[in-house]
Amino acid sequence: MTVNPVKTSELEKLLAISSGLVSQQGNERLKVILHQVLGDICQTIKKYDITDEEFWLAVNYLNELGERKEAALLAAGLGLEHYLDIRADEKEAAAGIEVGTPRTIEGPLYVANAPLSQNYARMDDGTEQAEIMWLQGKVTDSNGKPVAGAVVDIWHANTLGGYSFFDQSQSQYNLRRRIQTGADGSYAVRSIVPCGYGCPPDGPTQKLLTAVGRHGNRPAHVHFFVSAPGYKHLTTQINLNGDAYLWDDFAFATREELIADPLKITDTHIAEQRKINQPHT
């Protein structure tokens, strides 16, 4: 007599084999995660009675995403990259770790090994007619003590929202620089005011966003990596205040503490500065 034989459904058997769970080889963590994801997909197929046509549409979409190299762009647009920040913030808070400047997403457009200089860099190649942008800052530890020799890796878009390397019309490393801080932790750059980025209008990311009634625009922003030996790496951005998309970023990267108020430097402003800096005679 058999008592309550546990029945394994056809789907359970399929998933156990297809994810490799029943195999003696392979990566165990990968197997359980793949098992979960495949199970979730099958549940979704059942719950929404996905048609064959819809299924193959999705498969072709993934091919298109790869062909256009937009997988990371879609991850940003779906808020998944921002979710990684939410998780990292949660973990830091739970561990009672002090934080300074908040993190926000890297995005898909970083290029390593930009020209490196000390204290100051000019970032633009001078070919664009654009408003000059000065950025200056100071790298400090969480107690406010300056960090000398920190590397500030900055990258941003041009006036058309395009990034060098990805936008082949720009010169190599245009608007990408690494600046090493001096003894007082300070750095400064001269560049041009960027415009916000928009997803390629004919690409698969924008196609999905449009299909769910969303836009694919970011406010004007400047990316930063800040690193120094013995310190945790910081990935962040600043958003330029006044941009129409400031709080409507398709990639969810805006944070209150990361909004920068652009200050227009006028002749009178410079005169005021001189008055402040010059002792009265």
The Cα 245–Cα 252 span in angstroms is 10
Contact between 76 and ligand MBD per CB under 6 A: yes
Interface stretch with ligand MBD, choices 25-33, 35-43, 60-68, 100-108 (CB under 6 A): 100-108
Contact between 77 and Fe ion per CB under 5 A: no
Interface stretch with ligand MBD, choices 17-25, 58-66, 102-110, 256-264 (CB under 6 A): 102-110
Contacts of 218 (CB under 8 A, 6+ apart): 196, 197, 198, 245, 249, 250, 251, 253
- Pick between residue 107 and residue 162 the one whose CB is nearest to Fe ion: 107
Q: Select from 187, 197, 225, 245 the one that contacts ligand MBD (CB under 6 A).
A: 197
| 182 touches 121 (CB < 8 A) | no
Contact between 74 and ligand MBD per CB under 6 A: no
Instruction: Say how many residues make up the chain.
Output: 281
**Shortest spacing between CB 225 and ligand MBD, in angstroms:** 13
Q: Select from 15, 105, 107, 199 the one that contacts Fe ion (CB under 5 A).
A: 107
Residue nearest Fe ion, Cβ-based: 107
The Cα 28–Cα 22 span in angstroms is 10
Q: How far is CA 40 from CA 11, 46, 53, 61, 83, in A?
A: 12, 10, 19, 19, 19
Contact between 107 and ligand MBD per CB under 6 A: yes
Which one of Fe ion, ligand MBD, none interacts with residue 105, CB within 5 to 8 A by kind?
ligand MBD
Listed in sequence order, the DSSP H helices in 19-147 are 28-47, 52-67, 71-77, 80-94
Handedness of CA 226, 167, 175, 197 (dihedral sign): negative
**Shortest spacing between CB 125 and ligand MBD, in angstroms:** 19
Interacting residues with ligand MBD (CB under 6 A): 73, 76, 105, 107-109, 197, 218, 251, 253
